[in-house]
Amino acid sequence: MPKTPLSSFGLSSLIALLAGALLPLAFAPFNFFFIAFFSPAVLALLWQHTRPNTAAWRGFCFGVGLFGTGASWIFVSIHQFSHTPFAMALLITFLFIIILAGFIALQGWVYAKLITKHTYLITLLAFPSIWVLFEGLRSWLFTGFPWLFLGYSQIDTYLGGFAPVLGVYGVSWCCAATGVLLLSIYLYPKRVKLTGLMLITLWGSAYAIKTIQWTQASGDPISVALLQGNIDQNLKWNASTREFILQRYEMLMAQTQQAELIIWPEAAFPIPLPQSHALLQQLSHKLQSNDQAALIGLPVQTQQGQFLNSIVALGTDAYGVYYKRHLVPFGEFVPLEAQIRGLVGFFDLPMSHGVSGPYIQAPLHAGSLRVAPLICYEIVYPELARGSLHDANILLTVSNDTWFGRSIGPHQHFEMARMRALELGRFLIRSTNNGISAIVDHQGKVVAQVPQFIATTLIANVYATEGYTPLYFLSHYFMLILSSLLLVAALLLQLGKFPRKKTV
């Protein structure tokens, strides 16, 4: 019989809380990737031979630890930049963490309800599959919060080799499976040879796949300049500071004579269209005289007073407009607006009257580049990014991570952006107001990067990319479907539907 986990209520709750609180150390900026194996393994142990309600409570404790540390930056956004009183900001952050922890609680309840017979193979099939299915649920329900997926922690390990084939969900599955196999050394010591063989097979396959070049850089290098304005968030939408902001970007533009393409961050231009039409025309003429193109983040105001978060192409051989499709709740639109707007400052942010653009939009064009644009939060949605690719040969994300302050948020955000480059096999341009601004190649490696919290210009080369990764054709839904089938297989094993000589 396998050993059972500690059953003490207080001790098991504390272990679950600590295991969750340590998991964010697996992600940027800490990058202790191996914790992403051990934390889920501890949770799998705590879910063994437990009732659904007990598993739900332990999952809840794990979730409070995970999101209480890993998503702590939400407090910075609420308190520091929306001027919400400390106590109210703390309450909103607490409720946010409780809701997210509820996903892990439900995951534990489902796992304990479905899996009542814990064998070597059943646990190996069921635990990673349920984990991935709940990551998928969390990326969709309530507009989604696809943050801290296990797979992101492995972007620089061999397991990252699965990303262009199975996406971040596939890497998460392999990560959780690695944790279960390591746990099996403790639970099933007589099967240590089989466990070792499975670990070697899993990681060896990942290494072999990682050596495959799914896409290829093509054509001549294109010089790109990223403008990092480092504008204080409290000044951004103040009409009296518009001239200052424009002068800051004019200074940065003066450093870009050698660049063919210039990228402004999200909503960097301080005057929305159509009010800024004349200024943008002047800028376009100047770009054309220098044989340059630019992609500029700015808001577009509708006749009804609402805003579209947008990117506009200007200059030589540049055309197209992109409108952000997936808006940030409370930051760009307010759910239940009639009931809660005006209650606290967080519900009345300057750009919270937003509307979303159409789901299907053409790439932006800048010379030979066909650009798949994503604004800020959109880059963390795996399937949204894949669906944006179309015939684009490069990825672009512009952001304003000033909202995160000096927290770990920008590092986590950048790590997720890197995963999109690896999944889709495209160079990624990432321009932000105060960092992290960088160029990432088609294998997810950072080519060039500038420090945070300074006004500067990053100039580096990018390449258009030819070909597609398998993920582009399979989609992220493939791994969710596969996880469902593996879970069904575990349930059939549990019911004894598969013939076998002995229990495994």
pLDDT in tens, 129-154: 999 999 999 999 988 999 999 999 99
Reported as half-sphere exposure (CB side, CA atoms, 13 A), residue 231 has a value of 29
Q: Give yes or no: residues 51 and 115 share one domain.
A: yes
| 344 inside domain | no
Q: Give yes or no: residues 30 and 137 share one domain.
A: yes
pLDDT of amino acid 343: 54
Q: Which two tokens stand for residue 404?
A: 């995160």
* CA 286 to chain centroid: 36
pLDDT of amino acid 387: 94
pLDDT in tens, 403-416: 888 999 999 999 99
pLDDT of amino acid 143: 86
pLDDT of amino acid 238: 84
pLDDT of amino acid 1: 39
CB 171 within 8 A of CB 163: yes
User: Quick check: 79 pLDDT over 90?
Assistant: no
pLDDT in tens, 240-289: 899 999 999 999 999 999 999 999 999 999 999 999 999 999 999 999 99
Residue, of 302 and 314, whose pLDDT is higher: 314
| 60 inside domain | yes
| 355 inside domain | no
Residue 236 confidence class, pLDDT cut points 50, 70, 90: confident
What CA–CA distance (Å, rounded) separates 32 from 464? 33
CB 102 within 8 A of CB 61: no
| 305 inside domain | no
| 2 inside domain | no
Kindly give the pairing relationship between strand 394-399 and strand 428-432. parallel
One-character DSSP codes across 238-262:
-GGGHHHHHHHHHHHHTT-TT-SEE
Residue appearing with tokens 């927290």? 407
What CA–CA distance (Å, rounded) separates 14 from 18? 6
pLDDT in tens, 372-415: 999 999 999 999 999 999 899 999 999 999 888 899 999 999 99
* CA 118 to chain centroid: 33
Q: Give yes or no: residues 234 and 291 share one domain.
A: yes
pLDDT in tens, 81-133: 777 888 988 998 999 999 999 999 999 999 999 999 999 999 999 999 999 99
User: Quick check: 503 pLDDT over 50?
Assistant: no
Q: Give yes or no: residues 167 and 236 share one domain.
A: no
Which CATH number goes with the domain that contains 262?
3.60.110.10
Domain span at 442: 216-299+310-323+364-468
Q: Give yes or no: residues 184 and 245 share one domain.
A: no
pLDDT in tens, 15-50: 999 999 999 999 999 999 999 999 999 999 999 999
Residue 226 confidence class, pLDDT cut points 50, 70, 90: very high
| 402 inside domain | yes
Query: How many distinct structural domains can be found in the chain?
Result: 2
Residue 351 confidence class, pLDDT cut points 50, 70, 90: low
Give the Cα-Cα-Cα angle 226, 231, 237 (nearest 5 degrees): 120
293 bridge partner residues: 261, 315
Q: Give yes or no: residues 250 and 181 share one domain.
A: no
Q: Give yes or no: residues 255 and 129 share one domain.
A: no
Please provide the average confidence, as pLDDT, over all residues in the chain.
92
Q: Give yes or no: residues 20 and 38 share one domain.
A: yes
What CA–CA distance (Å, rounded) separates 230 from 115? 51
225 bridge partner residues: 262, 459
pLDDT of amino acid 234: 81
Long-range contacts of 197-202 (CB under 8 A, 24+ apart): 198/124, 202/174, 202/177, 202/178
226 bridge partner residues: 263, 458
| 295 inside domain | yes
Nearest one of 208, 132, 138 to 174, comparing CA atoms: 132
Q: Give yes or no: residues 292 and 150 share one domain.
A: no
One-character DSSP codes across 84-116:
--HHHHHHHHHHHHHHHHHHHHHHHHHHHHH--
Amino acid at position 69, single letter: T
One-character DSSP codes across 379-426:
GG-HHHHHHH-TT-SEEEEEE-GGGGTTSSHHHHHHHHHHHHHHHHT-
Residue 5 confidence class, pLDDT cut points 50, 70, 90: very low
Q: Give yes or no: residues 405 and 447 share one domain.
A: yes
Report the catalytic residues: 266, 324, 376
CB 357 within 8 A of CB 323: yes
CB 471 within 8 A of CB 166: yes
Q: Give yes or no: residues 453 and 482 share one domain.
A: no
| 202 inside domain | yes
Nearest one of 382, 396, 408, 347 to 474, comparing CA atoms: 382
Q: Give yes or no: residues 181 and 233 share one domain.
A: no
SS3 content of the chain, % helix, strand, coil (to 5): 50, 15, 35
- Mean pLDDT of all residues in 167-182: 98
